[in-house]
């Protein structure tokens, strides 16, 4: 099912950041959550993580190794395929920013299979799957262009069109949204 239209929402203040790795408050998150998806997302009661861009995941008993099976056929709004290399690029982008603390002790990322992402930590990370609800996947092209603070390109239900500072942010429906049901 194809989506169309424009999202119109009122906020009491303008976002400070549209970069999901630095988002701080409700105004930031109101844009970020519509444009970007994570590997996991909150269930309807906000009590547990459920699949989003990752179809499933496993971890070892010490919570130092995690394997995420990625959803096939997903593309970023700029046409870039979402795969394990794109996910790795997003995770590495997060590390030096505000939300990088959610990836503390990350030792290695294996992206050798396009639909499998393997993460290894030097210390137990028992909250990782829940923390992945907050880490959003960003187009590698946007990261490469060093433009994440100016534009937003994710895999979410809405695509970023424009930001007129002090007035409005315009988002339009992503007709190719992977979760269009």
Give pLDDT tens digits for 148-165. 988 999 999 999 988 888
Give the Cα separation of 159 and 171 in Å (integer).
5
Give the Cα separation of 111 and 5 in Å (integer).
35
Share above pLDDT 90 across residues of the chain, in percent, rounded to a whole number: 66
Give the Cα separation of 155 and 38 in Å (integer).
9
Share above pLDDT 70 across residues of the chain, in percent, rounded to a whole number: 90
- Quickly state the pLDDT bin for 58 (edges 50, 70, 90): very high
Question: What pTM, to 2 d.p., does this model score?
Answer: 0.90
* pLDDT at residue 1 greater than cutoff 50: no
Residue indicated by tokens 């056929």: 73
Q: What angle do CA 33, 55, 128 make, to 5 degrees?
A: 65
CA 124 to chain centre: 23
Can you give the pLDDT at residue 3?
A: 58
Average the pLDDT over 39-48 and give the result: 93
Give the Cα separation of 50 and 133 in Å (integer).
9
């Amino acid at each position: 099912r194809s989506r169309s239209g424009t999202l119109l929402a009122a906020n009491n203040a303008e976002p400070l950041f549209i970069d999901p790795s630095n988002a701080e408050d409700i105004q930031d998150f109101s844009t970020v959550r519509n444009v970007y998806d994570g590997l996991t997302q909150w269930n309807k009661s906000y009590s547990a993580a459920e699949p989003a861009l990752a179809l499933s995941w496993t971890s070892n008993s010490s919570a130092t190794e995690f394997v995420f099976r990625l959803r096939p056929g997903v593309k970023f709004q700029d046409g870039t395929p979402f795969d394990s290399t794109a996910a790795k690029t997003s995770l590495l982008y997060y590390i030096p920013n505000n939300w990088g603390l959610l990836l503390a002790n990350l030792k290695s990322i294996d992206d050798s299979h396009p639909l499998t992402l393997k993460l290894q930590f030097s210390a137990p990370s028992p909250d990782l799957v829940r923390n992945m609800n907050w880490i959003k996947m960003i187009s590698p092209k946007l990261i490469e262009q060093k433009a994440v603070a100016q534009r937003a390109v994710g895999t979410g239900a809405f695509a970023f069109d424009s930001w007129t500072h002090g007035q409005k942010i315009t988002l339009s429906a992503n007709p190719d949204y992977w979760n269009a049901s």
